[in-house]
Amino acid sequence: MIRALLLLWALPILLFGVWYGLSANDINFGTLMFSRELHDYIFTIYGNLLGIEPEAMPSFLLKAIITDSAIVLSFVAWRKRSVWWPSVSPYARPVFQKIYAPFQPFFARISRSLSSSPWSMKLAATWSIFAALFRRDKSASSIARSAATVESRSSQ
């Protein structure tokens, strides 16, 4: 599956890169496909559709290709982590410990308070933390906090 993903990712990028390189330098081999006129016409059409200058299109495409490549390669790295992580972990562990150290009291306080709570309160607190960190709608976190408060008061 990873090979198919890499093929479906790399093939269009390769084809576009070859076309762009040949047409931007007007190496057309006598065909219209690789001519500079078609190159300029295509970027004018895309620029007009997106409402930007045609000269800005190559930089936007490069940024999109870099972003997509980072996402695809992160999937591959995650799937193949059993291969590369054992050789990286001795070097990465001290770095992660330095990053984790300032937050350790906070995580310890959360785990201590959650370990003495009933499961429904743990669920509400976990949802509250998740909503506060990852959601734009902050009303969900206030609902979860109020549910946890009601649950804790009713269990006493």
At residue 135, the pLDDT reads 61
- The answer to the question of residue 92 being in a domain is no
Query: Which of 44, 20, 43 minimizes the C-alpha distance to 33?
Result: 20
Rg (CA), the chain: 26
Query: Which of 145, 21, 152, 5 minimizes the C-alpha distance to 77?
Result: 5
Residues 4, 8: Cα–Cα separation, whole Å: 6
At residue 117, the pLDDT reads 61
At residue 146, the pLDDT reads 58
Same structural domain, 14 and 57: yes
Asked whether the beta carbons of 55 and 44 are under 8 A apart, the reply is no
Same structural domain, 8 and 43: yes
- The answer to the question of residue 110 being in a domain is yes
At residue 44, the pLDDT reads 92
Q: Which residues of 79-91 are buried (b: 16+ CB within 10 A; e: fewer)?
A: eeeeeeeeeeeee
pLDDT greater than 70 at residue 114: no
pLDDT greater than 60 at residue 37: yes
In whole angstroms, how far apart are CA 75 and each of 9, 37, 69, 100, 152? 12, 38, 10, 24, 41
Asked whether the beta carbons of 147 and 124 are under 8 A apart, the reply is yes
Same structural domain, 60 and 31: yes
- The answer to the question of residue 88 being in a domain is no
Residue that is written with structure tokens 């933390």 in the block: 129
In whole angstroms, how far apart are CA 130 and each of 56, 142, 150? 39, 12, 19
Asked whether the beta carbons of 13 and 25 are under 8 A apart, the reply is no
pLDDT greater than 60 at residue 140: no
At residue 63, the pLDDT reads 94
- Tell me the average pLDDT of the chain: 80
- The answer to the question of residue 28 being in a domain is yes
* pLDDT average, residue stretch 40-52: 90
Least confident of 49-58, 71-80, 125-134: 125-134
Residues 20, 58: Cα–Cα separation, whole Å: 9
Q: Which one of 50, 79, 108 terminates a domain?
A: 79
Same structural domain, 66 and 114: no
Count the domains in the chain. Answer: 2
At residue 142, the pLDDT reads 56
Domain span at residue 115 reads 99-155
Query: Which of 62, 51, 52 minimizes the C-alpha distance to 24?
Result: 62
